[in-house]
Amino acid sequence: GHYIPLSYYVMRLFLKNGFVLKEDIIKVQHNCKSTPYWERQVEKYNFYMIMHEHLFIFRKPKKDENLNKIKYSTGLY
């Protein structure tokens, strides 16, 4: 198998459509109710558990906003 980085594809779509990346919140995935179940599945089926997930926060730029200062948050560089 292989990993498909869907969250990054979605991020690129938002940037491509004029949104600005305001935050990237990284949520740790352990200590969930289902963790013991998935730990057993890892051993049984030989795969890696996802250890974190990204929550991207976007904003729409203001009309006539100068984006030069935040160009690396826009995908316009």
pLDDT at 77 over 80: no
Strand partners, 24: 56
SS3 readout for 10-77: HHHHHHHCCCEEEEEEEEECCCCCCHHHHHHHHHHHCCCCCCEEEEEEEECCCCCCCCHHHHHHCCCC
Mean pLDDT of 7-35: 89
pLDDT at 52 over 70: yes
Question: Quick one: pLDDT at residue 1?
Answer: 65
pTM (predicted TM-score): 0.70
Question: Domain boundaries in the chain?
Answer: 6-73
- The encoded tokens of residue 72 equal 């690396």
